[in-house]
């Protein structure tokens, strides 16, 4: 199947806002068979189960809620002779959770996303920085995606864990498949109380938020 046909009728050629690897990533998703997707979802589920089991001991005393939700919403729209807008975003963009708590991510869009912890200084602040997003390429590589390469299917490594298990430091990242290709993804936030985690989607670098760990 050619890019641009089928379930994701998008015009890639005219878009400038995505890093090139992200476009290839999305094209690759379009070309997947359902069985491939099921395998990825199953692998991701297994990895998260291990993650959840290992992090259970960290749950407990904090003052923040034990559970929080992030829903990914938005769509692409345009106004003729004015602009094209991609409103995909995290709801909520800022959330509070206790150390050891669980965040559930639900994707209501037809595109894949990532939930990736980055340093505050790595968050793009200009459209130029979005187009040249360096940390996006680094995290793509950590997921096994070659930012310079041809479409190669979904990221071979759906979950990237840096350092101690759980989401606690820059580099920790998970892929969230398009709506209908796997259910919500749950992650454990294991950063200590008092810390702030900045997160973003490395496919749509304007998708940014932060977690206050309490
Ligand atoms: Cu995204």
**pLDDT value for 63:** 86
Please tell me the distance between residue 133's alpha carbon and the centre of ligand 1 in angstroms.
Answer: 13
* Residue 89 domain boundaries: 12-213
Please tell me the distance between residue 83's alpha carbon and the centre of ligand 1 in angstroms.
Answer: 20
Residue 142 falls inside a structural domain: yes
Task: Kindly indicate the confidence band of residue 154, based on its pLDDT and cuts at 50, 70 and 90.
Answer: confident
Q: What is the separation of C-alpha 48 from the centre of its chain, rounded to a whole number of angstroms?
A: 15
Residue 144 falls inside a structural domain: yes
Residue 5 falls inside a structural domain: no
Q: Helix, strand or coil for residue 164?
A: coil
Residue 100 falls inside a structural domain: yes
Residue 4 falls inside a structural domain: no
Please tell me the distance between residue 73's alpha carbon and the centre of ligand 1 in angstroms.
Answer: 10
Please tell me the distance between residue 209's alpha carbon and the centre of ligand 1 in angstroms.
Answer: 12
**pLDDT value for 182:** 87
Match 């985690």 to its residue by tokens. Answer: 197
Phi and psi at 21, nearest 5°, equal -65, -30
Residue 168 falls inside a structural domain: yes
CATH number, position 195: 2.60.40.420
Count of the separate structural domains present in the chain:
1
Residue 107 falls inside a structural domain: yes
Q: Residue 77: enclosing H or E segment and its boundaries?
A: strand 76-79
Instruction: List, in sequence order, the alpha helices (H) in the chain.
Output: 20-30, 34-55, 127-131, 134-142
Please tell me the distance between residue 27's alpha carbon and the centre of ligand 1 in angstroms.
Answer: 14
Q: How far is CA 105 from CA 82, 135, 148, 152, 182, in A?
A: 33, 21, 28, 25, 11
Please tell me the distance between residue 130's alpha carbon and the centre of ligand 1 in angstroms.
Answer: 12
**pLDDT value for 22:** 53
DSSP 58: G
Please tell me the distance between residue 61's alpha carbon and the centre of ligand 1 in angstroms.
Answer: 33
The token duo for 204 is 């749509």
Please tell me the distance between residue 57's alpha carbon and the centre of ligand 1 in angstroms.
Answer: 31
Say how many residues make up the chain. 214
Please tell me the distance between residue 26's alpha carbon and the centre of ligand 1 in angstroms.
Answer: 10
Please tell me the distance between residue 89's alpha carbon and the centre of ligand 1 in angstroms.
Answer: 7
DSSP 149: S
pLDDT digits (tens, 9 = 90+) for 84-109: 999 999 999 999 999 999 999 999 99
Residue 54 falls inside a structural domain: yes
pLDDT digits (tens, 9 = 90+) for 33-52: 333 343 344 444 444 444 44
Phi and psi at 82, nearest 5°, equal -130, -65
């Amino acid at each position: 199947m050619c890019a641009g046909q089928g379930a994701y009728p998008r015009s890639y050629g005219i878009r400038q806002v995505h890093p090139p690897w992200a476009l290839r990533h999305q094209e690759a998703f379009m070309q997947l068979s359902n069985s491939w997707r099921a395998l990825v979802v199953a692998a991701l589920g297994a990895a998260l189960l291990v993650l959840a089991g290992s992090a259970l001991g960290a749950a407990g005393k904090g003052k923040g809620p034990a559970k929080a939700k992030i829903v990914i919403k938005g769509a692409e729209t345009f106004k003729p002779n004015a602009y094209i807008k991609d409103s995909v975003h995290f709801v909520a963009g800022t959330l509070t959770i206790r150390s050891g708590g669980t965040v559930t991510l639900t994707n209501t869009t037809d595109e894949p996303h990532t939930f990736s912890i980055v340093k505050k200084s790595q968050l793009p602040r200009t459209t130029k920085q979005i187009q040249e997003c360096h940390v996006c390429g680094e995290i793509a590589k950590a997921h096994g995606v070659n930012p310079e390469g041809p479409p190669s299917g979904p990221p071979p490594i759906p979950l990237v864990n840096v350092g101690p298990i759980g989401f606690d430091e820059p580099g920790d990242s998970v892929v969230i498949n398009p709506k209908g290709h796997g259910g919500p993804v749950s992650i454990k936030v294991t950063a200590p109380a008092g810390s702030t985690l900045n997160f973003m989607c490395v496919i749509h670098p304007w998708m940014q938020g932060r977690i206050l760990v309490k």
